[in-house]
Structure 1
Amino acid sequence: MNVLVLLAIILCSLMILIGGKKGTKSFISLFFNFGIVLLSIFLMTDPQANPIIIAIVACTVISCINLFFINEVNSKTITAFISTVITITLLLFLIYIITDKAMIQGFGEEEIDEILSVYSLYLGVDFVKIAVAVIIMSTIGAIIDVSISITSSMQEIFHRHPSINRKELFTSGLTIGKDILGSNTNTLFFAFIGGYLALLLWFKDLSYSFGEIVNSKIFSSEMIMIFCAGIGIAVVIPIASWVSAFYLIRVREKSQNNEASK
């Protein structure tokens, strides 16, 4: 526990020192997000609850915390929030279909040890919906990060070039997104794989063949999370670019019309 407290103090100090007020809000938001995730887990254990709806509501609240609490309510956070909601909605249908067809729900053989095997694994919940909820909540952070990066950059471009048209602004957003796409996708890959490095070493000790590793449920579910998160990042780029371009140009046109009417 002392190590955890020490690391938390170091992280908090660095975030306040480097990020100032925004860094402080970012550190506080970590606890808010943890509380939302923990509450979602408890709610999902209720057989009458729908895990997908809980995950969507949780992701919406997390988006509000990460965007509006940290960066306040402004044009870039509003457009980033709209882009995030649209992307998650579109991604939901793809995730549900893939999860159902791939049959990655439930526990894998590697996750059921001798102690757990003596207990009943019938928990009274829909594991397909649980798997969908897990993937959605695993991708939300990356989608929020990309959307705010694009909308923030596009707002800066718009302020530097207030006469820019909608098409040029949208193209600029796509160009920014292309640079973000590769780095964020690789970040996701190493973050997920790094968390399961011990499992890969265990596969080696068990003399699993390459085919057995690829076809194992736990490995497949992890790779599906990576692919879905990557798809979410790719999809949010044009959506955030279009929403931001539409919003900024619409505000400019409305302002010009108000000035002309005076």
Structure 2
Amino acid sequence: MNVLVWLAAILFILMVLIGGKKGVRSFVALFLNFGVLLLTIIIMTVPNVNPIILTLIACTLISCINLFYINEVNRKTKTAFISTMITIVILLFFIVIVTEKSMFQGFGEEEIEEISVFSLYIGVDFTKIGASMIIMSAIGSIVDVAISIASSMSEIRNHNPFISRKDLFTSGLGIGRDILGTDTNTLFFAFFGSYLGLLIWFKDLSYSFGEIVNSKVFSAEMINILCAGIGVAIIIPITAWITAYFLVKTRDK
């Protein structure tokens, strides 16, 4: 417990020194996001609750916290929020189809031994839970890309007030292409970092490459990464177009 307190204190001090008031808001936002996730998980276990709708509500709250609470309500955060919501809805329909076709929901055989003493008849739809899990793991990257593009395009418009909508959109796409590679790699290495122990376990169990790739645990995480990467790719043109439209429209008025 002391380690957690010290690490949290160090993080808070660094965020205050570097980010100032926005750093304080960012630190508080961590706990707000955690509260939203915890409340979502608790409600998700209630029978007859639709996890998809609950996930949409949770994503909306998380987006509001990360955009409006940290960066305040302004032109950049409004366009980033609209772009995020459109992307989440598109991605959610796609992910529901993927989860139903791939049937990766539930637990793999590597996890069964640890939970064998518990009852799995908990009255929830694991297909929808799987789709919700992917969306919740992707929302952070999606919001991050949206605000990065919207903020950069706003700065471009401020330095070049008479830029055309087409040129501004093209600039947004160029910014997005630079972000795309780093963000997808971040998702990829986050998986290997969190599942390094599992990969070592595969090695100790003498799993072949084919057995690793076809194991439910590995496949579920790779589907998670690929779907999150698709979400990051989709939001780039959406944010670029919406931001270019609103910035030029505001200038013309």
User: TM-score scaled to structure 1, two decimals?
Assistant: 0.95
Alignment partner, residue 42 of structure 1: 42
User: TM-score scaled to structure 2, two decimals?
Assistant: 0.99
Alignment partner, residue 244 of structure 1: 243
Could you tell me how far 1:189 is from its partner in structure 2?
A: 0.5
Alignment partner, residue 260 of structure 1: none
2:123 aligns to what SS in structure 1?
coil
1:11 maps to a residue whose letter is L
2:17 maps to a residue whose letter is L
Could you tell me how far 1:123 is from its partner in structure 2?
A: 1.0
Matched, 1:173 2:181: no
1:211 aligns to what SS in structure 2?
helix
Alignment partner, residue 191 of structure 1: 190
2:247 aligns to what SS in structure 1?
helix
Instruction: Note the alpha carbon deviations across 1:79-120, whole angstroms, 9 max, x for none.
Output: 00000000001101110111111111111111111x521332
Aligned pairs for 1:81-230 (under 5 A) are: 81-113=81-113, 116-230=115-229
Instruction: Note the alpha carbon deviations across 1:156-205, whole angstroms, 9 max, x for none.
Output: 00000000010000000000001101011101100122100000000110
Deviates more, 1:218-227 or 1:116-125: 116-125
What stretches of structure 1 of length at least 5 have no aligned partner? 255-262
What stretches of structure 2 of length at least 5 have no aligned partner? none
2:62 aligns to what SS in structure 1?
helix
Aligned length: 253
Instruction: Note the alpha carbon deviations across 1:10-43, whole angstroms, 9 max, x for none.
Output: 0000000100000000000000000000000000
Q: Distance in 2 between matches of 1:231 and 1:88?
A: 11
Could you tell me how far 1:67 is from its partner in structure 2?
A: 0.2
Instruction: Note the alpha carbon deviations across 1:232-253, whole angstroms, 9 max, x for none.
Output: 1110000000000000011111
Runs of at least 4 residues off by over 2 Å: none
1:112 aligns to what SS in structure 2?
helix
2:27 aligns to what SS in structure 1?
helix
Q: Distance in 2 between matches of 1:46 and 1:245?
A: 42
1:20 aligns to what SS in structure 2?
helix
